[in-house]
Amino acid sequence: MQPLLEINHIYKSYINDINVLHDVSFTIGAGECFGLVGESGSGKSTLARITLALERPDAGEVTLNGINLHRLKGKALRAARRHIQVVFQDPTASLNPRLPVWKTVIEPLDNYPDAVAAFLTEVRHNRRDLAAALLHQVGLDRELLDRFPHQLSGGQRQRVAIARAISLQPQLLVCDEPTSSLDVSIQAQILNLFKELKESIGLSYLFISHDLAAVRFLCDRVGVLRHGRVVDVFPSRELLSRDRHAYTRAMAKAVQL
């Protein structure tokens, strides 16, 4: 069976020909959560932007359902982006401060009016009910519909960002350090939410993090990125195996897993 997402031999350089990404390859299957870990500066966020077709690689391909995203333009690229959404690290920066919650979460549906998620079909004709159903999906009450981002806690803002991201029922959700700006107790709640959504609406994830414990909890497989290269790929249950790359073992030892 063809993977949902294929990252094939990606290269990316910036000023002075510094290699940010060097021959990066891995796949993500339908319904799989793939964790990508590495220290700051390893190239994780650059790879996220390339995966989302927000940047182009110098070489290599990103294919979603067998379609090379970087060969698409205009309407074709816009149509493909419906199937791949993103949750960023800082929910405050990713939410429009001038929009109330209900308008924020249905904003993608305004751009893709024919792409209502299967779990929203019963309320598709009422915009506020659509928003309330999305909030319910991420564990928030309807009473938050008319609040603005500054009136929410950090955890609530991230849940709103997740609600917006799943409104189109994407096939793949790219999560770029989605818990690192949250308190530890809230981090655990958001990780549990990601796990619940994976089962309830059939999401697949590219979960990018420096937090090995979070990745071990949530992900099916893990890739380790070091200096722009993938040095290890393995099932998450084998994180502590003696067969791991020396860098992976050092990371695990540093956080006492």
Q: Is the dihedral of CA 176, 181, 182, 187 positive or negative?
A: positive
Kindly report the number of other CB atoms within 10 A of residue 219's CB atom: 24
Conformational region of residue 111, where left means phi above 0, alpha means psi within -120 to 50, and beta covers everything else: alpha
Q: Residue 12 has what pLDDT?
A: 94
DSSP 56-70: --SEEEEEETTEEGG
Confidence of residue 146 (pLDDT cuts 50, 70, 90): very high
Query: Cα(79)–Cα(93) distance, rounded to whole angstroms?
Result: 25
User: Which residues in 83-99 are b (16+ Cβ under 10 Å) and which e?
Assistant: bbbbbbbbbeebbeeee
1-83+172-257: which CATH number, 2.60.120.10, 3.40.50.300, 2.30.110.10, 3.40.50.150? 3.40.50.300
Average pLDDT over residues 216-220: 94
| 230 DSSP 8-state letter | E
Question: 218 in helix, strand or coil?
Answer: helix
Which residues fall within 8 angstroms of residue 247, CB to CB, at 6 or more apart?
224, 226, 231, 232
Burial of 50 by CB count in 10 Å (0-12 exposed, 13-18 middle, 19+ buried)?
A: buried
Q: pLDDT per residue over 12-31, tens digit each?
A: 998 776 678 999 999 999 99
- CB distance 239 to 222 below 8 Å: yes
197 pLDDT higher than 90: yes
Residue 17 burial by Cβ neighbours in a 10 Å radius (0-12, 13-18, 19+): exposed
| pLDDT tens digits for range 75-98 | 999 999 899 999 998 888 889 999
**Could you tell me the two tokens for 243?**
């067969």
Q: Which residues contact 127 (CB under 8 A, 6 or more apart)?
A: 102, 106
Domain locations along the chain: 1-83+172-257, 93-169
pLDDT of 1 over the 90 cut = no
- Cα gap 206→38, rounded to integer Å: 14
